[in-house]
């Protein structure tokens, strides 16, 4: 039997992690002789969902086993969720979904919808009733949305990998310490991994902060690359276990859809083809705002202070520059704003500047003597009524290309520049060994 198990919404700001439930279950399933039809899926859902704890991730295990094991396997899963989920937290509403056999297109479509928009619980429940064999929604049952989305996340096309390592219980909540040099070395040697380090600040990006059991994670193009990276990184504490997940991280899946400005909705990520309406300006806190327009309306775009040098790029935009802006739509004082995650500059307008010509006699700078009075050399005093100002093209400091915020400010789903042009078209179903331990 092929069973897909989706799990979501088990952790709270105090601790836990849905991926750790997957890690625990994988260890138990291995002992039970269960086979894995795919790597475990770590699906990042809409990064703007208001109920998320951290990265809005859900997981799916696609497992194969003899029919008589079905009851034992389902029982193991339910017991593990009941054991690890933080039921005391108001915002923790776990969901488990079981689905047998192949994945219908409707479930794949639903999965994308959860990554790209906000969906209602009823929509998830309707699909579960139509296709799935069982589901358990705890408390307000919201976790069913993410659990079903993870099952539908077949990632047949573009996908990446992440190797997550977990901490022993006695270390959780304490500061994570990694040998910094080993992370730099890994980044240099394993060129297929990404977002390990922010080179603007020399910040290590592979270790999260907070009380969850993850020690560090290495993201990369292939399972082999993240495994090789894992062999290089030296943590200062023991690793309890590690798992390689297949994921939509780093694929831009959330901003795939293009919208007109009039179609934008709060909480939805979006991509908008527009022109700059107003020169960018800075507000308190160092955030940069600019206005864009298309044939359906106009909207403010914000680039926040943590985006660092990305703000300098944005400040060089000028009215009528043509751009494709991607980001999430937020409501600020009843108006919608785009929180910019990426900008593709399609066309930069020519900006002209008037300048005084050089003195034809001595080559020094000239100055204007007033309207209709010509120019005078500042050095030798030469005057000429016929001399006119030069018209010069201003050198634009930005180029026609795609710009992203620095890796430390990127979303899990944002596609790093290094992945452009190497997006995957299919999934090689032969699993790399080892993918867990
Ligand atoms: P965890 O590691 O436990 O998964 P998290 O940061 O990923 O933490 P959750 O605790 O899972 O966030 O909370 C997200 C909740 O929001 C889940 O109940 C999920 O089903 C729901 N959710 C996620 N995306 C959407 C969406 N697009 N529309 C509606 N509900 C969503």
44 domain-assigned: yes
Check whether the bond before 434 is cis (ω within 30° of 0): yes
225 CB near ligand 1 (under 6 Å): no
Question: Is there a single domain that holds both residue 86 and residue 46?
Answer: yes
Cα(97) to centroid(ligand 1), Å: 14
Q: How many angstroms separate the alpha carbon of residue 9 from the centre of ligand 1?
A: 6
pLDDT of residue 429: 82
Ligand 1 centroid from CA 52, angstroms: 5
Q: Does residue 433 form part of some domain?
A: no
pLDDT in the model for residue 374: 87
Q: Which residues pair with 121 in a beta bridge?
A: none
Instruction: Give Cα separations from 238 to 164, 205, 223, 279 (angstroms).
Output: 14, 19, 22, 52
298, 314: one domain: yes
Q: Is 339 in the pocket of ligand 1 (CB under 6 A)?
A: no
Whether pLDDT at 14 is above 90? no
pLDDT score of 54 more than 90: no
CATH number at residue 168: 3.90.600.20
Distance of CA 81 from the midpoint of ligand 1 (Å): 15
| Domain boundary pick from 220, 247, 274 | 247
Residue 426 domain-assigned (yes or no): no
Beta carbons of 309 and 398 less than 8 angstroms apart: no
pTM: 0.94
Q: How far is the CA of 48 from the centre of ligand 1 (A)?
A: 10
In a shared domain, residues 6 and 83? yes
- For tokens 């291995």, what's the residue? 30
Q: What value does the mean pLDDT take over residues 334-344?
A: 96
What integer is the mean pLDDT of 3-27? 94
Same domain, 54 and 173: no
* Percent of the chain whose predicted confidence (pLDDT) is above 70: 100
Q: Is the CB of 119 under 6 A from ligand 1?
A: yes
The residue segments making up the domain with residue 84 are 2-152
On the question of pLDDT at 391 being above 90, the answer is yes
Whole-angstrom distance, CA of residue 335 vs CA of residue 325: 18
What is the Å distance from ligand 1's center to 360 Cα?
Answer: 71
Q: How confident is the model at residue 388 (pLDDT cuts 50, 70, 90)?
A: confident
399 and 384: one domain? Answer: no
Q: Which atom of ligand 1 is nearest to the CA of 45?
A: 24
CB burial of residue 75 (10 Å; 0-12, 13-18, 19+):
exposed
The answer to the question of residue 416 being in a domain is no
Q: Which of 30-44, 149-163, 308-322, 385-399 has the lowest mean pLDDT?
A: 385-399
Residue that terminates a domain, selected from 119, 152, 185 = 152
pLDDT digits (tens, 9 = 90+) for 175-219: 999 999 999 999 999 999 999 999 999 999 999 988 899 999 999
| 44 and 23 co-located in one domain | yes
Ligand 1 within 6 A of CB of 212: no
363: CB partners within 8 A, 6+ apart: none
CB 357 within 8 A of CB 375: yes
Q: What is the pLDDT of residue 268?
A: 96
DSSP symbols for 274-321: EEEEEEEEEETTTEEEEEEEETTEEEEEEE-GGGTTHHHHHTT--TT-
Query: Is any ligand 1 atom within 6 A of the Cβ of residue 8?
Result: yes
Instruction: Give domain status of residue 205, yes or no.
Output: yes
Asked whether residue 435 is domain-assigned, the answer is no
CA 266 to chain centroid, in Å, comes to: 18
Q: Which of 9, 94, 125 best tests ligand 1's pocket when mutated (most atoms within 8 Å of CB)?
A: 9
Q: Is the minimum distance from the CB of 415 to ligand 1 under 6 angstroms?
A: no
Residue 237 shares a structural domain with residue 272:
no
Grade residue 333 by pLDDT with cuts at 50, 70 and 90. Answer: confident
Residue among 21, 97, 145 to mutate when testing ligand 1 (max atoms within 8 A of CB): 145
d(CA 183, CA 206): 8
17 lines ligand 1 (CB under 6 A): yes
Whole-number Å distance, alpha carbon 58 to ligand 1 midpoint, is 7
371 pLDDT tier (thresholds 50, 70, 90): confident
Mean pLDDT, the chain, whole residue set? 95
Give mean pLDDT, residues 229-239: 97
pLDDT score, position 15: 81
Domain-located, residue 422: no
94 CA distance to ligand 1 centroid (A)?
9
**Whether 44 and 93 share a structural domain:** yes
Number of domains observed in the structure of the chain: 4
Q: How confident is the model at residue 353 (pLDDT cuts 50, 70, 90)?
A: very high
Summarised one tens digit per residue, pLDDT across range 284-296 is 999 999 999 999 9
| Residue 189 within any structural domain of the chain | yes
Question: Same domain, yes or no, for 75 and 25?
Answer: yes
Handedness of CA 167, 171, 173, 178 (dihedral sign): negative
Whose CA is closest to atom 14 on ligand 1? 52
Residues 24, 124 within the same domain: yes
Same domain? 8 vs 141: yes
Distance, CA of 422 to CA of 284 (rounded, Å): 39
- φ, ψ (nearest 5 deg) of residue 297: 160, -165
- The answer for 2, left when phi > 0, alpha when psi is -120 to 50, beta otherwise, is beta
Look at residues 152, 187, 209 and tell me which one is the last residue of a structural domain: 152
Pair 229, 319 in one domain: no
């Amino acid at each position: 039997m092929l069973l897909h198990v989706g799990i979501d919404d088990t952790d709270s700001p105090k601790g836990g992690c849905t991926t750790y439930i997957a890690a625990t279950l994988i260890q138990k399933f291995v002992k039970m002789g269960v086979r894995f039809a795919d790597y475990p899926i770590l699906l990042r859902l809409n990064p703007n969902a208001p109920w998320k704890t951290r990265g809005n991730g859900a997981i799916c295990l696609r497992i194969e086993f003899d029919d008589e094991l079905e009851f034992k396997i389902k029982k193991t899963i339910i017991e593990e969720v009941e054991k690890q989920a933080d039921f005391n937290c108001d915002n923790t509403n776990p969901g488990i979904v079981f689905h047998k056999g192949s994945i219908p297109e409707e479930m794949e479509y639903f999965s994308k919808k959860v990554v790209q928009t906000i969906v209602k619980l009823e929509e998830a429940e309707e699909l579960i009733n139509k296709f799935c064999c069982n589901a358990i929604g705890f408390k307000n049952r919201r976790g069913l949305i993410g659990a079903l989305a993870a099952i539908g996340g077949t990632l047949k096309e573009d996908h990446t990998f992440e190797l997550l390592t977990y901490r022993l219980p006695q270390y959780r909540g304490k500061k994570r310490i990694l040998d910094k040099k080993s992370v730099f070395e890994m980044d240099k040697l394993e060129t297929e991994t990404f977002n390990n380090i922010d080179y603007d600040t020399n910040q290590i990006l592979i270790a999260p902060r907070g009380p969850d059991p993850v020690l560090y994670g290495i993201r990369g193009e292939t399972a082999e690359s993240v495994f090789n990276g894992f062999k290089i990184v030296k943590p200062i504490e023991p690793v309890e276990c590690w798992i390689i997940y297949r994921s939509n991280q780093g694929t831009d899946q959330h901003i795939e859809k293009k919208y007109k400005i009039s179609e934008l909705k709060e909480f939805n990520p979006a991509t908008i083809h527009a022109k700059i309406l107003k020169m960018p300006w800075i507000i308190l806190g160092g955030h940069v705002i600019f206005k864009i327009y298309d044939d359906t309306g106009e909207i403010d775009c914000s680039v926040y202070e943590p985006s660092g040098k990305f703000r300098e790029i944005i400040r060089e935009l000028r009215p009528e520059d043509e751009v494709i802006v991607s980001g999430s739509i937020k409501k600020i004082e009843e108006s919608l704003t785009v929180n910019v995650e990426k900008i593709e500059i399609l066309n930069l307008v020519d900006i002209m500047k008037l300048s005084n010509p050089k003195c034809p006699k001595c080559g020094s700078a000239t100055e204007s003597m007033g309207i209709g009075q010509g120019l005078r050399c500042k050095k030798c005093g030469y005057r000429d009524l016929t001399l006119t100002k030069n018209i010069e093209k201003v050198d634009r400091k930005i180029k026609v290309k795609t710009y992203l915020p620095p890796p430390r400010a990127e979303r899990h789903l944002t596609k790093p520049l290094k992945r452009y042009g190497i997006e995957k078209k299919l999934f090689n179903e032969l699993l790399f060994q080892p993918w867990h331990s």
